[in-house]
Structure 1
Amino acid sequence: MRKLLLVGCAALVLGGSAAVATSQTPRNETFRMLELFGDVVGIVEQAYVVPVDNKKLIEAALAGMMTALDPHSNYLPPSNYDELRERTEGQYSGVGLTITSEGGLVKVISPMDESPAAKAGVQAGDVISSIEGQNASGLTVSQVSEKLRGSVGTSVRVTFLRDGEDPLEVVLTREIIKVQSVTGRVEGDFGYLRVSTFNENTGRELTEAIAKIKAEKPGVKGYVLDLRNNGGGLLNAAIDVSDAFLERGEIVSQRGRKPEQIQRYSAKPGDLTGGLPVVVLVNYGSASASEIVAGALKDHERATIVGLTSFGKGSVQTVIPLRQGQDGALSITTARYYTPSGASIQKIGIEPDLEVARSEAEARIVSRSSFIYSEAAYATALDSSIGAERKGPHTPREAPGKDFDKEKDYQLQRALDVLRAGGDLSKLSAPPETIVVTEPGSEPKKDETPAETPED
């Protein structure tokens, strides 16, 4: 995710070497600047106060060059390239964090389900302040990743900063993170499907989870697809998940620099759920591949989207190995993603049909622009290319009141309510413990009227 270590919906290229790109800068000027770079390296090598490691110096320069393009283009040293491949294959060693960097701060995109980080209460948007007591400001994603990784059973002390709260210091014990990307269970008359990431196994695991639910509940009446805090993964996996709920039609298109650089991906016949109602849960930790799925099912009117507007990462990163990976790889933005209706995901995200915050505190975050964690917050983010903008600070339609059982998942309960209403939001009433959050700083009020339709 500047950098996604799980390349959000990247088209992985695991073989070959980097092609030489042309530039609008005159060649003689380019060569002059390359000579300047060599001169600077030589001066640093000779004149810096202590000896320098030229390899690390040049790797840092490469990372800086890629970061200057946009938040998600990045140079991956060999160790980080290996980590990327491990993650997309479904297993790696670490603490279970997908991280990114902007403005000298490394932030959490999402913690992996059941990982050491998730169990410690780390949340999307948390800033990594220090590692083993050393300030993490100014470190790259690669540097932070190296510090967080280590032998299984060893521990690392990490301090996280969260808006409006005291610093959270936790000791994380490293584990083999076996990423089971899909889990499923029966919730009353309905099936619940949790997709935590998109890797090589996701399509198969989703098929198995749906089959298991059907066997356990032959009369299942619908499904909740939970994509909250899912930071992305492989494009093919996103297509497989979307295809599982569609009979036909386009799933997503990607468009590059030139008009002719368009790729379209379509569903194959065969809805694994037999056309039963579907609700998709998203929040601002749902990025990239998650947004492709939510956008496809929303545009085809195949699912109702419930939760909060997603992250807004609609750019394609292609991973290009350098010397077959011996020198690492480039993760470079090559295109933008578009939903079937032609809407851009980039910087905008997928807006829910029913906007529901998980808590009153979360609702207040959405109402204050400085606290919203999204692609649009990045100064170097690509524009949407269609002139649209992400919805600004506003009051979410619903949030749980003080009487709601905090052990329960309010967004999931509302998703199940939507399924009970057959997906018809006009038949949906807000439960008595729901509140409508008022202006920031004021007291919330009980909602005394049914929530007939979501706000536009």
Structure 2
Amino acid sequence: MTTPETRLPFLRLPFLRRPIVRRLGGAAAVTVLLGGLAVAGSGQLDAQTNSSETYRQLNLFGAVFERVRANYVEEVSEEKLFEAAINGMLSSLDPHSSFLNAKNYRDMQVQTRGEFGGLGIEVTMEGGLVKVVSPIDDTPAARAGLLPGDLISHLDGEPVLGLTLSEAVERMRGKVGSEITLTVRRGEQEPFDVTLERATITIRSVRHRTIGDIGYVRITTFNEQSTSGLQEAVAAIHQELGDRLHGYVIDLRNNPGGLLDQAISVSDAFLERGEIVSTRGRGEENSSRANATPGDITDGAPLVVLINGGSASASEIVAGALQDQHRAIILGTQSFGKGSVQTIIPLQGYGAMRLTTARYYTPSGRSIQAKGITPDILVEPAKIEKIATQRGRREADLRGALVNPDGTAAPGKADDQKPADAQENADAGKGGEVDDYQLARAIDLLRGIHLYQSRVVN
């Protein structure tokens, strides 16, 4: 996530009862007078802005705005109409671009710091319904058994259809201790209700434990505490196991992503050199390349990274970097495929806009978008773990999703998904059996690598 300085024009709309002049950003602005075509400002306006077609479309917007304000069956505030128009423009571009009013922008800033109020689910919109991307570990949503791919059709009996994603999220949040009932659609099952009690969601983004001679690290999301949490986890595991340590499992299953800089620094923690990720947009200002700095916090210990269809965005950057740099073996099932960069552009006094500005590329030049990361070793969950019967949905399934620039599609088969919780999956610290089939295979792989290396040395 980047937050560049922005220079945006403002509009004076003479068809309103009183002029509204809004300056978005902190630069010298251009004033556009609709209707009279009088233009005043600094610098050259590009040819598109000067075209008559642009003015015709702006006048159309003004006419519709005025007609709605004057004749709609109920009085609607100008602010609500403007916000809806802006959000409609952005959300029509792709599933991840949107407008954040001042309150939603503050909520987003709180969330990236790792603490917020709500139910504990990462969501997006699909077909007018709220779609669960991933439940967050140890939250009301995870404890209630919500799964990636679940569709939420009603909130307290009120339909979601017609709401924007921001509006739906706002309704799901509320006073800690209050309850909300979600109507959930899951595959071919009949819709069912789930009642959740809202809680303060404090995201402990990194958890760890030892499983015999293996260090297990689960990263649930990428917030401001992720890198420091990873460093503490690795240090604690090394202190506990010492020379008995055979390797690490880094569990990124159902990790919906988060901050780009944290994905880069987490990748860098395991790499000595080489590219981590590049972004490519329309212009140089939206294109960048991140490289690793010397220093591997695990001292080169073997790594296995677990991914599945709920692993998205920042988690795909980490998996792709470690895979392309031959630093880790990727095990599990195809990841979600969200390979686009959203820039948060503050609009001074009015919130912010989330705009897709670039695509991610792994070090080998692969685009993640609508394709995802293909694991080195395909391991599906054991049948007993396949609670959900529906195909796990991915980025390519979302309405309006950006296409992958190389023109290839992701493998068609998707995994049935079950939330991966470190507290349940890694209950084998004293040599017991691991119930999580994918995790068990990762542990077997690391032990096999250690056995082979010890025999080669001897």
Normalised to the residue count of structure 2, the TM-score between the two structures is 0.83
Q: Where does structure 1 lack aligned partners over 5 or more consecutive residues? A: 1-9, 397-404, 426-456
Task: Name the CA distance, whole Å, in 1 between partners of 2:142 and 2:51.
Answer: 49
Q: Give the equivalent residue in structure 2 for 1:120.
A: 144
**Relative to structure 2, which stretch is displaced further, 238-247 or 30-39?**
30-39
Q: Secondary structure at the match of 1:422?
A: helix
Q: Give the equivalent residue in structure 2 for 1:11.
A: 2
- From the CA coordinates, give the structure whose radius of gyration is larger: 2
Q: Give the equivalent residue in structure 1 for 2:12.
A: none
Q: Give the equivalent residue in structure 2 for 1:311.
A: 336
Is 1:175 matched with 2:199? yes
Give, in angstroms, the shift of residue 317 of structure 1.
0.4
Give, in angstroms, the shift of residue 135 of structure 1.
1.3
Is 1:412 matched with 2:432? no
Give, in angstroms, the shift of residue 14 of structure 1.
8.4
Give, in angstroms, the shift of residue 257 of structure 1.
1.0
Q: Give the equivalent residue in structure 1 for 2:394.
A: 374
Q: Give the equivalent residue in structure 1 for 2:272.
A: 247
One-letter amino acid matched to 2:123: I
Structure 2 contact 309–414 (Cα < 8 Å) conserved: no
Identify if the C-alpha distance between structure 1 residues 132 and 379 changes in structure 2 by more than 3 Å, giving closer, same or farther: closer
State the Cα deviation string for residues 137-162 of structure 1 (Å, max 9, x = none): 23211111111111111111112111
**Relative to structure 2, which stretch is displaced further, 35-44 or 230-239?**
35-44
Identify if the C-alpha distance between structure 1 residues 26 and 382 changes in structure 2 by more than 3 Å, giving closer, same or farther: farther
Give, in angstroms, the shift of residue 172 of structure 1.
1.2
Give, in angstroms, the shift of residue 365 of structure 1.
7.8
Q: Give the equivalent residue in structure 2 for 1:322.
A: 347
Q: Give the equivalent residue in structure 2 for 1:4.
A: none
Task: Name the CA distance, whole Å, in 2 between partners of 1:235 and 1:178.
Answer: 20
Identify if the C-alpha distance between structure 1 residues 424 and 355 changes in structure 2 by more than 3 Å, giving closer, same or farther: farther
Task: Name the CA distance, whole Å, in 1 between partners of 2:100 and 2:285.
Answer: 29
One-letter amino acid matched to 1:176: T
Q: Give the equivalent residue in structure 1 for 2:61.
A: 37
Q: Secondary structure at the match of 1:75?
A: strand
Q: Give the equivalent residue in structure 2 for 1:437.
A: none
Give, in angstroms, the shift of residue 177 of structure 1.
0.9
State the Cα deviation string for residues 71-124 of structure 1 (Å, max 9, x = none): 111111112111110111111111111111122121011111101101100111
Superposed structure 1 runs of 4+ greater than 2 Å apart? 12-28, 164-168, 258-262, 359-366, 393-396
Q: Where does structure 2 lack aligned partners over 5 or more consecutive residues? A: 8-23, 30-44, 417-431, 453-458
Structure 1 contact 247–271 (Cα < 8 Å) conserved: yes
Structure 1 contact 12–234 (Cα < 8 Å) conserved: no
Is 1:339 matched with 2:366? no
One-letter amino acid matched to 2:380: A
2:87 to 53, 63, 67: 63
Identify if the C-alpha distance between structure 1 residues 406 and 117 changes in structure 2 by more than 3 Å, giving closer, same or farther: farther
One-letter amino acid matched to 2:306: L
Give, in angstroms, the shift of residue 53 of structure 1.
2.6
Task: Name the CA distance, whole Å, in 2 between partners of 1:151 and 1:385.
Answer: 44
Give, in angstroms, the shift of residue 363 of structure 1.
7.1
Give, in angstroms, the shift of residue 229 of structure 1.
0.7
Structure 1 contact 106–140 (Cα < 8 Å) conserved: no
One-letter amino acid matched to 2:295: G
Structure 2 contact 380–415 (Cα < 8 Å) conserved: no
Identify if the C-alpha distance between structure 1 residues 125 and 221 changes in structure 2 by more than 3 Å, giving closer, same or farther: same
Structure 1 contact 14–319 (Cα < 8 Å) conserved: no
One-letter amino acid matched to 1:103: G
Task: Name the CA distance, whole Å, in 2 between partners of 1:297 and 1:141.
Answer: 33
Give, in angstroms, the shift of residue 61 of structure 1.
1.5
Structure 1 residues 211-250: aligned runs within 5 Å: 211-219=235-243, 220-250=245-275
Q: Give the equivalent residue in structure 2 for 1:388.
A: 408
Task: Name the CA distance, whole Å, in 1 between partners of 2:221 and 2:5.
Answer: 20
Q: Give the equivalent residue in structure 1 for 2:226.
A: 202
Structure 1 contact 185–193 (Cα < 8 Å) conserved: yes
Task: Name the CA distance, whole Å, in 2 between partners of 1:394 and 1:191.
Answer: 28
